[in-house]
Amino acid sequence: MRFCVESQHLKKYFHTDSGVVRAVDDVSFGIEPGETVGLVGESGCGKSTVGRTILKLVDPSGGKLFFEGRDIFEIDRSERRALRREMGIVFQNPYSSLNPRMKVLQIVGEPLKTHAKINGARLRRKVLELLAQVGLKPEQLNRFPHQFSGGQRQRIAIARSLALDPKFLIFDEPTSALDVSVQAQVLNLIRKLQRSKNLTYLFITHDLLVVKYIADRILVMYLGKLVEAGPVEAVFEHALHPYTQALLAAIPKADPSIRQKRLLLEGEVPSPINPPSGCRFHSRCPKVVSICREKEPELRRLGQRQVACHLA
Ligand code: SF4
């Protein structure tokens, strides 16, 4: 299977006064065409940096990134500009990601004007089509972002991301700033658009229930590394990595009378400047054994799944 997007040994290090932050440290995965892959982990694990590095919003420190077989870190600027039309991103905060001084027509139409040189009545027509696709009305065309609710603003951001007919979209916590009921509507829209346009998604979130709802496959990151990957149903049914098990156990249960064996995460996430030796999770792992402190576990393939744990 040829991947739509394939990351090979992706690395992103940030050089700071306190040392080198290994935000993304040798991360490899592939996303098949039409697939939704959910990338999860606690805040600071490097998941958003993966998304930004894929789009080259930050320069990679190493590794390769293929989009439909082309290594996008190697291509020249004009090729990259053309390729950027096929990839987009929707950010977490619809309050800050939209220019407050621009009307919807300008916000959604800007990529069409800049990259596709569409202007005038054609631009207006195209923006109206995009607004209809995300459930907004024609009379909202000339309004400013502050005249919309949070959910509507995220719809505007999604319309803008679709303007150039991309094949691949990254969603970076797109619903975490929204109320729960609005979250569900936006997630439904994202799913509907994927089916109708056969889009490929990387969905970055800390919310495992969102991943369960929207994704086909899940990637779990801890301190810059992938620790588990596999089909969503299989991982929710039986997580192999103690970190994934702890994340799943932390999901609030709808029925509080249902008790389950809790595997609680203790302690803070260690600093990515000076990660623990051996398994990076060993300082918080309830199943730690002596080898964990000395040897870093490789991400091993087990059938359709992958896990980085000496005990798996
Ligand atoms: Fe825990 Fe050891 Fe597995 Fe790491 S390798 S997750 S410390 S059991």
Summarised one tens digit per residue, pLDDT across range 196-222 is 999 999 999 999 999 999 999 999 999
Kindly state if the Cβ of 280 falls inside 6 Å of ligand 1.
no
Alpha carbon separation from 92 to 98, 154, 175, 290 (Å, rounded)? 11, 9, 7, 40
- Please tell me the distance from the alpha carbon of residue 6 to that of residue 219, in angstroms, as a whole number: 13
- Contact in structure between 168 and 120 (CB atoms under 8 Å): no
Kindly state if the Cβ of 66 falls inside 6 Å of ligand 1.
no
Kindly state if the Cβ of 309 falls inside 6 Å of ligand 1.
yes
Report residue 7's pLDDT band, with 50, 70 and 90 as the boundaries: very high
- Please tell me the distance from the alpha carbon of residue 300 to that of residue 312, in angstroms, as a whole number: 9
Residue 228 Cα to ligand 1 middle (Å): 12
Kindly state if the Cβ of 297 falls inside 6 Å of ligand 1.
yes
Summarised one tens digit per residue, pLDDT across range 174-196 is 988 888 889 999 999 999 999 99
Mean pLDDT of the 276-283 span: 94
Q: What is the pLDDT of residue 254?
A: 63
- Contact in structure between 172 and 48 (CB atoms under 8 Å): yes
Q: What is the largest distance, in Å, between two alpha-carbon atoms of the chain?
A: 69
Summarised one tens digit per residue, pLDDT across range 123-160 is 999 999 999 999 999 999 999 999 999 999 999 999 99
Kindly state if the Cβ of 278 falls inside 6 Å of ligand 1.
no
- Please tell me the distance from the alpha carbon of residue 266 to that of residue 312, in angstroms, as a whole number: 21
- Please tell me the distance from the alpha carbon of residue 312 to that of residue 295, in angstroms, as a whole number: 14
- Contact in structure between 65 and 7 (CB atoms under 8 Å): yes
Residue 54 Cα to ligand 1 middle (Å): 28
List 71's β-bridge partners, or say none. 66
Kindly state if the Cβ of 160 falls inside 6 Å of ligand 1.
no
Atom of ligand 1 at shortest distance to CA of 279? 4
Give the torsion through C-alpha atoms of 253, 258, 261, 263, to 10 deg. 20
Atom of ligand 1 at shortest distance to CA of 227? 6
Q: Tell me, what amino acid is at 186?
A: V
Give the torsion through C-alpha atoms of 38, 42, 45, 46, to 10 deg. 40
Coil, strand or helix: which one is 90? strand
Summarised one tens digit per residue, pLDDT across range 220-229 is 999 999 999 9
